[in-house]
Amino acid sequence: MIRLKSKADIEKMRASGSILKRVFETVAPMMRPGVSTATIDRVAHDLIVEAGAIPSCLGYESGGPTPFPTATCISVDDEIVHGFPSETKVLEEGMIVSLDVCACLDGFHTDAARTYIIGNVDPRVRELVEVTEQAFFEGLKEVRAGKRLGDVGAAVQTLCEAHGFGVVRELSGHGVGYELHEDPDVPNYGRRGRGLRIRPGMTFALEPMVTLGSRHINVADNGWTILTADGLPAAHYENTLAITEDGVDILTL
């Protein structure tokens, strides 16, 4: 069931989203060789809590065999999403690292992700990161009342595949607001003119998850982390959106 949000609800989500913006601004300079992913997670956790919010990922129970153990998902290289921060997972030159962070403030959740380049990387890997972000904005062009989710997914898919990249199909964007994950699913592939019609009051996360090689996935032994099947890198870019009568608001940018 899709739960539409009022203008007041959306403003509460905007306040939640502003916390995520602060997290990204703070951790961006930390994305360098020698920094552990656990250190980044602690900084994000503390910023969220100090703002009076709850880290939505911490203890989240849907999607894995045990509650998610940390405040953020930090995924390195061939980890697509849901990577576990760790003291022993230290950033190195040539890595790409996605940070997926969520917060709940005043009863409303928002969700966003960025992928960072650590030092110098292969030009094709840099292109992957750049195209993944571009794909979000291509999809965003199709997000407005009256359009369909298939229009959004088709825009993301077309751009990524034109560059020779894979688009993960087993994972998708999602509704967000009252819960971290709500209806509807928001796939990163599709056919124009198909799918659910977008309506004012909908709030959802649009999040291209794009691979350098094969689009197929594996699941790590921890039951949470999603990996590329061929071991090649993946990138992730996400924002929470609110659809209004006048267009669309990005609540986490």
Find the radius of gyration of the CA atoms of the chain. 17
**Residue 64, pLDDT score:** 86
Spatial separation of the C-alpha atoms in residues 171 and 120, rounded to whole Å: 29
Detail the DSSP E strand segments found in the chain. 54-55, 72-76, 79-81, 96-105, 108-117, 166-167, 173-175, 182-186, 203-206, 209-211, 217-219, 226-228, 234-236, 239-244, 247-250
Residue that the structure tokens 């009022």 belong to = 6
Return the structure tokens found at 144: 């407005």
| CATH class held by domain 7-250 | alpha beta
Spatial separation of the C-alpha atoms in residues 141 and 6, rounded to whole Å: 23
pLDDT string in tens for the chain (253-residue length): 999 999 999 999 999 999 999 999 999 999 999 999 999 999 999 999 999 999 999 999 988 899 999 999 999 999 999 999 999 999 999 999 999 999 999 999 999 999 999 999 999 999 999 999 999 999 999 999 999 999 999 999 999 999 999 999 999 999 999 999 999 999 999 999 999 999 999 999 999 999 999 999 999 999 999 999 999 999 999 999 999 998 999 999 9
**Residue 62, pLDDT score:** 83
